[in-house]
Structure 1
Amino acid sequence: MTIPKTLPRTVIAALRRLIGERVRVCGFAEAIRDQKRMRFIVLRDGSGKVQLAQAKQDDEVMQALTGLTPESALVVTGRVVAAPAVRLGGLEIAVEAVEIVGRAEAPLPIAPESGLEKWLDLRQISLRFPAQQLAFAVQTTLEVAMRDFWRSEGFLEIHSPKLMGTSSESGAEVFAVGYFGRTAYLAQSPQFYKQMAIAGGLEKVFEIGPAFRAEPSFTARHETEFTSIDMEIAWIEDHHDLMALEERWLTHALAAVAREHGEAIRQHFGVELVVPTLPFPKLGFEEAQVLLAERGLPSQKPDDLDSDSEHRLAELMRQRTGHEFLFLTDYPAASRAFYHRRHPDRPALTRGFDLLWRGLEVTTGAQREHRYDRLVEQARERGYQLEPLRDYLDFFRYGCPPHGGMGVGLGRLLMRILGTSSIREVTLLSRTPTRLRP
């Protein structure tokens, strides 16, 4: 039975106001229940679910539904009927015509309780689960709110290239690809290019785009390809300007998510999304080391903090302040990129920071060194060859304002918003050292 397209499609969420009217709906057959004279089908689309009631004496409809299997894609025409006893919104659709436009093989190879690896193998099915649909609705709201903030603050959006002619300042953890007889490299971040934009006078820029790290890491928070959120602004005094900006930006975005999806997040993930208050707590690196040592929990890295130390510090500060966020500031220069600005009175420390959310690092940021001679000096201190850095260093030869910025992991934000244990649960298609499919 082919349904004529005389009716526009109606999404399930809009059916409540159409009781008594004839509608055309499309979706997946989530469940099928047969009775003696009736067949009931739960139809699901991206906006919700509705019960379909099919009279078995209707031979044409019965013929059209021959071989119906769960998760088959259907197009249905029928009349919306009030049905107070039906749990799905107190209404149903009396089926008049139906077409199976995409029959699902049976049985389905996965279920909501299947393991994560199985979910990732069969993403075309696991994405249908309501919690997964919600994850990407949250992602969309989050990004829209971020862009709203940037627009209100006068930022410009850029799209930097992901193919680079040189690997990076260190040459480590990059993917090399063939490029017309030469070697190109996938960008680890838009860092150099957003600084070029600042040198070009754009003053405030942002980008949301892919980044690549050839890092043999198998943790639940790392991917070899991920979505990076980046900002860079000119004419700052120091890194405190950047932290103040991120506080406002992140609070604005999380408030939008809480308004739009707070109840659904509680329902599907059991998480209460708390919109943070300003300002966020801040803790200097040296103070953090002392705090850990006093409690018999010294960091295993003299110039940096391992993930266990970050979790411990975040919990200590949460107990002290009641806040889920913590800025860790003023890291030793030895553990930071060569282009981070140093404290003028303490050159062993940088004007940089990490932002932790419930112990997970979600942001790294810093004021940049914008003076050409100091950049060259700091690169040489690290033993870097200057020729691979020539394009980057040239950005600063013709005048550049003081500036700084940050990179934020979209997947890590979603992990904390939804309380998931793995970044792969909130990633469309995961890429790790062992996963390159589908």
Structure 2
Amino acid sequence: MTERTLIKNLAAASDGPISVSGWVDTVRDQKKVQFVVLRDESGAVQLVHPRVFNEDGTPAEDPIAAEISALAQGTFLTATGELKHDERVKLGGVEIKLDGIVVAAAAIPETPIADDSAVDKRMDWRFLDLRVPKNALIFRIQTTLEHAWRTYWVEHDFIELHTPKLMASASESKAELFEVDYFDGKAYLAQSPQFFKQMAQPAGFGKIFEVGPAFRADPSFTSRHATEFTSVDSEISWIDSHEDVMKLHEELLVAGFQAVKDKHGEEIKALWDVEVTVPSLPFPRIPLAEAKRIVAERGYEVPRADDDMDPEGERQIAAYVRETYGHEFVFLTDYASSIRPFYHMRNADDSSLTNSYDLIFNGVEISTGAQREHRVDVLIEQAKDKGLDPEELNFYLDFFRYGVPPHGGFGMGLSRVLMLMLHLPNLREATYLFRGPTRLLP
């Protein structure tokens, strides 16, 4: 049996016997010649079969022609034949004249979705939706992005962790928690690896990262929320302020964007008409209070009772940064302690503020980062200020009773980064299998 060749490697192969495997994309069943576009995970190629005729011009017995005529879109098969380079062939400049086909798995002729199907319908048939090259490319981009981030971390001596996703208590608050039966008791799905990545600091790990699942029982139906998502987290010791965390964060993003642009930039431009821009360093930094003033001067008052920014405010400040600095990213810094978790360090000169930030990318928040409070007595008082019982946090507070260096870190949503990088309409497109309030299948 001829060894299978990936379609992307056909251009470099010599004319002659060849074998390719994939699924049927299209069939053109003409009177004198048949064409099949076969697609595999690497590309597409045209298969050609001239029909066989008797001397009197009537159709002759032609088993291959009969097999091609019976093919349904999506059928998986192996095709053998003669590879021929021909620059007139629009699809890659090569084609294969068929000697035979072997069907591995036939498809049902009626396809349940089309290119213009609604996104929720496409999610019902996600495995078919991902056969579309444009949709599949998203996850090649994701692979490149994560590989670049891991390369950065490893080259800078970070340790990779895999923290537990079953917890005895809340990691941040008791809101938005999924509760699950756990033998004779209850457990909770982790909202983030926050407590455990901080535990690595008194353990002496210094610099850590994790890319893993997180869960939020958030009944939101927006284009940017999910109940299960991939969180990109990092935590570092021996910092002076949240500025050190922002520096790590922006350098990591630049490394990832550069890798995506180098490997996929031309395809992204061709398929989405999006230019991947590698952001310049440093990213703009604007204190939240100043950002709110800027937004108000643009004619938008943030309609919130608390001190936070809202989605429209994020869009407005992003537009300002784009116009003023030509930048797609902005760090909003110095958030009020009233809206930040108890473990965020408060500003030494103004305890109403924290050494924290949100990172806005193309008008949407993708991450929160901060310097953590490492002094256990201060941490206990800040927990009390938030209405938390320190007794219930003892396992966490113990991390700080035996020596811990000043530290900080961030958590970032992977799918949000992809969605905004590619200007996709919603998070579902950038998630392999989306989970939301009404979706648990497939």
Task: Determine if the TM-score, normalized by the shorter chain, exceeds 0.5.
Answer: yes
Q: 2:15 aligns with which of 20, 25, 28?
A: 20
Q: Is the 8 A contact 2:292 2:313 kept in 1?
A: no
Secondary structure at 2:332 match in 1: strand
The aligned amino acid for 2:10 is: L
Gaps of 5+ in 2: 53-60
Structure 1 window deviating more from structure 2 (30-39 vs 392-401): it is 30-39
Of 418, 423, 428, which residue of structure 2 is paired with 1:424? 428
1:143 and 2:146 are equivalent in the alignment: yes
1:268-347 matches, within 5 Å, as 268-301=271-304, 302-347=306-351
Q: Does 1:8 align with 2:3?
A: yes
Q: Which residue identity is paired with 2:7?
A: I
Does the alignment pair 1:46 with 2:50? no
Residue 90 of structure 2 is matched in structure 1 by 87
Please, what TM-score do these two structures have when normalized by structure 1? 0.97
Letter of the 2:384 counterpart: R
Instruction: Tell me how far 1:169 sits from its aligned partner.
Output: 4.0
Q: Please say which of residues 200-209 and 242-251 is displaced more in the overlay.
A: 242-251
Q: Name 2:231's counterpart in structure 1.
A: 228
Offset, 1:67 = 2.2
Range that drifts further, 117-126 or 292-301: 292-301
Matches within 5 A, 1:28-427: 28-57=23-52, 59-65=62-68, 67-301=70-304, 302-427=306-431
Contact 1:163/1:187 (<8 A) preserved? yes
State the 1:386 CA deviation. Answer: 2.0
Q: 2:106 & 2:174 partners in 1: Cα distance?
A: 50
Give CA deviations for 1:223-274 in whole Å, capped at 9, x if unaligned.
0000000000000000001111111110011000000000101111111111
Supply the distance in 2 between the matched residues of 1:64 and 1:112 (Cα, whole angstroms): 27
Report sequence identity in percent.
48
C-alpha separation in 1, matches of 2:7 and 2:220: 43
Give the Å deviation of 1:387: 2.7
Preserved CA contact (<8 Å) 2:201 2:407: yes
Q: Secondary structure at the match of 1:75?
A: strand
Q: The residue matched to 1:399 in structure 2 has which SS?
A: coil
- Please give the per-residue CA displacement for 1:23-67, whole angstroms capped at 9, x wherever unaligned: 110111111011223211001111111100123337342354462
> Aligned partners of 1:199, 1:156: CA distance in 2, in Å?
14
Work out the CA distance in 1 between the residues paired with 2:89 and 2:388: 69
Partner SS for 1:99: strand
Query: For the residues of structure 1 that align with 2:359 and 2:120, how far apart are their CA atoms?
Result: 30
Cα RMSD (Å): 1.2
TM-score by length of 2: 0.96
SS at match of 2:201: helix
Cα distance in 1 for partners of 2:322, 2:189 equals 38
How far apart in 1 are the matches of 2:121 and 2:68? 30
CA distance in 1, matches of 2:249, 2:296: 29
Q: Give the secondary-structure state (helix, strand or coil) at the position aligned to 1:199.
A: coil
Of the structure 1 ranges 28-37 and 143-152, higher mean CA displacement relative to structure 2 is found in: 28-37
Q: 1:65 touches 1:100 (CA, 8 Å); kept in 2? A: no
Deviations 1:51-88 (A, max 9, x none): 00123337342354462111111111111012332210
Distance 2:49 2:298 in 1: 67
User: What secondary structure sits across from 2:12 in the alignment?
Assistant: helix
Q: Which runs of 5+ in 1 are unaligned?
A: 1-5
CA contact (8 A) 1:65 1:99 kept: no
